[in-house]
Structure 1
Amino acid sequence: MKKLLTLLLSLMIVFACSLSAYGEENNVELSLEQAINKALDHSVLLKNDKSEIEKMDILFNDVSSMLRYTPVDLSFNPSDTNLFKAFYSTEFEKKKAEKKYDNDRKQVVIDVKDKYYSVIASQKKLAAAQVAWEKSKIKLLQTQARYKVGLATNANLAEEEANEAAAKTAVMDAQAKLDNAYGELNRLLGEPITSKPKLIDMPVVEKKELDVNEQVNMAVGNSFEMWTVEESVNLTSRLRLFERFYDVGDYNYDQALNSLSDSKQELRNKTQALCLNINYLYEKYNELQQRKLQYEATLKQTKAMFAVGMTTKDNVLQVEYALKETEAGQIEVASAYVTALDTLARLTGKELGDV
């Protein structure tokens, strides 16, 4: 009896903590679009990018005002060497700052989607853990009842007590992960870390037919990463004229070409892997969808059997747990699919959602 009272008391405490943790969650709804807009307004990265653009405009205008002619060969005034190097370098940095802002803006949107959907998946995992804990409590009560009449051993009782304790810990762990997921989202949005709005948008999975070779070539031709490397090569080539030792300029140029070749191959591999992963995630999502439908049908049947006394409550909870775990996994896969498509769009120079 004492153990039973202790168990019930612990349940009440954890339940109260759970209510406290969810206290703010249903107060305000937050759509994905609202979350993205908040993040774009708050992003320190984008604010710094804008400052960099303005700074490079000032520097470029300043160095441009000092130019009196454009060199086409080695016949330029040696005293202007540093000026020309500064001009071409600043011109490159100005263009880079503008392109970086556009690229970073897309990445902020991708990051928000990832964190937004992560919260929803964490909520599903917490719900599954709570069901598993409820099931373990029932199993423990059943074992305690059997133990009192000599139908269970001390070992049986100890095993169920350990299972119940583990399930309780799993709930606390799932709650902590949900709190952390909210914290990560709030960090992007500039909201208080304890804020827990109700998230109302789910990831949408739509089949995309991808030509891997086409996507790879588009990434090589349009990505910000590749543009940066290619323009660095062009800059290095142009600056060869103004090196004190011409051989040094050649060495710099050769090194830049080597980096370009390596970067192209790295981007090809990255884009190819991304396309293959997108195809895999779509198939995995469909697999989980079929499993979800199966568990929904099984749960409906099991509840009907429980209503007429043909099965026990713990069997109902077992199916419910499997369903909620599948739902959580499906959201994670859907989130990965959506963000992978957006990443591919960013790499290929498209607007997000246009792949």
Structure 2
Amino acid sequence: MRKLLPLIILFCSLFVFSYSAYGNETGTVLSLEEAIKKAMQNSITLKNDQVEIEKKDILFKDASSLIQYTPVDISFNPSDTNLFKYFYGAEYEKRKAEKKLENDRRQLIIDVKSKYYNVIASDKKLKALELSEKKAQIQLLQAQAKYKVGLITKAELSAAEAKVATENAILADAKAKLDNAYSEFNKAIGAPLDSKPILKDLPIVEKKELDINEQMNMAASNSYEMWSAEEGARLTDRLKLFEKFYDIGDYNVDQAKNTLVDSRQEIKNQTRKLCMSINYLYEKNNELEQQISQYQEILKVAKVQWETGIATRDTVLNAEYALQMAEASQLEVASAYVTALDTLSHLTGKEPNY
């Protein structure tokens, strides 16, 4: 037994370490930067991208070794033709896999930020709806008291009861949405789905002056989608020499060029819409911030009136509800603004901020 004791202690210590490293993180504060680092470490997409690069590298090295022993002249036999296609295709696929890893890494940053902020906004909205449900409960108590002394009808009492039932249903839906927001966030960072870390980093809205035409041109030059279309067109043009029928090669090139033109127009249109959305979201955020300031003043007045007996508790709850709903809406808009800016950076070949 004494000989087994050290092994038992070692096993237990390893178990405790494993649990602390990968267990539930409910109650712990998790910054946005920490969340993104966790996502980078645990992302299945990035791991698969890295494996794909290794696979493409093997195929490219194989094609490179084979092509060393292939004569290069204009009279290709079928086996030579297939080998050159294999080489150029493998070289393109290797570079595409490397580019995809970079693209997916940047997209992961955007996704994690969006999901991080969504949890905060969902929690804020839940707190506002809890106030609304509390107000409905108070109104029901008031209605029950009035009904007992004959001040209201049975129909009015039933209306108050129905209001509570409606508020409970809305509250249950908000709780489910918060739980779903946490699950999506936890999945993105590789944490247990039922974890409830405390998220406190709020989106920061700063004015971004945008030259829409400049952004469109940058996206058309630097986006992953345009890179894929351009490199695909170059590969098609290179491979036309090895087609059995020259006309087929030319047709393939024409199709690739048409796709390139269409991709360029699509990415420019997407960028234009994104820039317009960014400008709108900035103004909408300013509007909501003004509303928040207004509701804060209304709440101050309502509290003073309640303390002095001029207003009821309902008035305070109404003001608190309006303020928290405005704050939740502002968080959603601010998150959308930051996410849109990050997406624009991504499209134009820049690293999203975090």
The TM-score normalised by the length of structure 2 is 0.90
Partners in 2 of 1:208 and 1:73 — Cα distance?
A: 56
Say whether the 8 Å CA contact 2:183–2:193 is kept in structure 1: yes
Q: Matches of residues 175-190 of structure 1 in structure 2 within 5 Å? A: 175-190=175-190
Residue 253 (structure 1) shift: 1.1
Say whether the 8 Å CA contact 1:73–1:241 is kept in structure 2: no
**Do the aligned partners of residues 73 and 285 (structure 1) sit closer, same or farther apart at CA in structure 2, a change above 3 Å counting?**
farther
User: What letter is aligned with 1:324?
Assistant: Q
User: What letter is aligned with 1:253?
Assistant: V
Instruction: Please name the residue that 2:233 is paired with.
Output: 233
Q: Secondary structure at the match of 2:67?
A: coil
Partners in 1 of 2:51 and 2:26 — Cα distance?
A: 38
Say whether the 8 Å CA contact 1:274–1:344 is kept in structure 2: yes
User: What letter is aligned with 2:236?
Assistant: T
Aligned residues with identical type, % of pairs: 60
Q: Unpaired segments of 5 or more residues in structure 2? A: 1-23
**Do the aligned partners of residues 71 and 136 (structure 1) sit closer, same or farther apart at CA in structure 2, a change above 3 Å counting?**
farther
**Do the aligned partners of residues 270 and 122 (structure 1) sit closer, same or farther apart at CA in structure 2, a change above 3 Å counting?**
same
Q: Matches of residues 1-355 of structure 1 in structure 2 within 5 Å? A: 27-68=27-68, 74-353=74-353
Residue 265 (structure 1) shift: 1.0
Say whether the 8 Å CA contact 1:103–1:224 is kept in structure 2: yes
Say whether the 8 Å CA contact 2:70–2:80 is kept in structure 1: no
RMSD: 1.7
Partners in 1 of 2:54 and 2:170 — Cα distance?
A: 51
Residue 43 (structure 1) shift: 0.6
Instruction: Please name the residue that 1:15 is paired with.
Output: none
The TM-score normalised by the length of structure 1 is 0.90
Say whether the 8 Å CA contact 1:205–1:337 is kept in structure 2: yes
Say whether the 8 Å CA contact 2:119–2:178 is kept in structure 1: yes
Partners in 2 of 1:67 and 1:189 — Cα distance?
A: 43
Partners in 1 of 2:38 and 2:290 — Cα distance?
A: 36
User: What letter is aligned with 1:63?
Assistant: A
Say whether the 8 Å CA contact 2:26–2:195 is kept in structure 1: no
Q: Cα deviations across residues 162-219 of structure 1 (Å, max 9, x unaligned)?
A: 0011111111111111111100011111111110011121111100000000000000
Partners in 2 of 1:323 and 1:73 — Cα distance?
A: 77
**Do the aligned partners of residues 207 and 72 (structure 1) sit closer, same or farther apart at CA in structure 2, a change above 3 Å counting?**
farther
Greater shift after overlay, 344-353 or 213-222? 344-353
Q: Secondary structure at the match of 1:65?
A: helix
User: What letter is aligned with 2:327?
Assistant: E
**Do the aligned partners of residues 72 and 268 (structure 1) sit closer, same or farther apart at CA in structure 2, a change above 3 Å counting?**
farther
**Do the aligned partners of residues 49 and 242 (structure 1) sit closer, same or farther apart at CA in structure 2, a change above 3 Å counting?**
same
Residue 69 (structure 1) shift: 7.9
Q: Secondary structure at the match of 2:196?
A: coil
Say whether the 8 Å CA contact 1:306–1:313 is kept in structure 2: yes
Q: Cα deviations across residues 279-312 of structure 1 (Å, max 9, x unaligned)?
A: 1000000100000010011101100110010000
Partners in 2 of 1:107 and 1:118 — Cα distance?
A: 16
Greater shift after overlay, 109-118 or 61-70? 61-70
Say whether the 8 Å CA contact 1:341–1:353 is kept in structure 2: no
Residue 74 (structure 1) shift: 3.6
Q: Cα deviations across residues 109-165 of structure 1 (Å, max 9, x unaligned)?
A: 100001100000010111011000011111111111111222111111111110011
Partners in 1 of 2:180 and 2:227 — Cα distance?
A: 36
Q: Unpaired segments of 5 or more residues in structure 1? A: 1-23
Greater shift after overlay, 247-256 or 272-281? 247-256
Q: Secondary structure at the match of 1:121?
A: helix
Q: Secondary structure at the match of 2:309?
A: coil
User: What letter is aligned with 1:151?
Assistant: L
User: What letter is aligned with 1:299?
Assistant: L
Residue 27 (structure 1) shift: 2.1
Q: Secondary structure at the match of 2:319?
A: helix
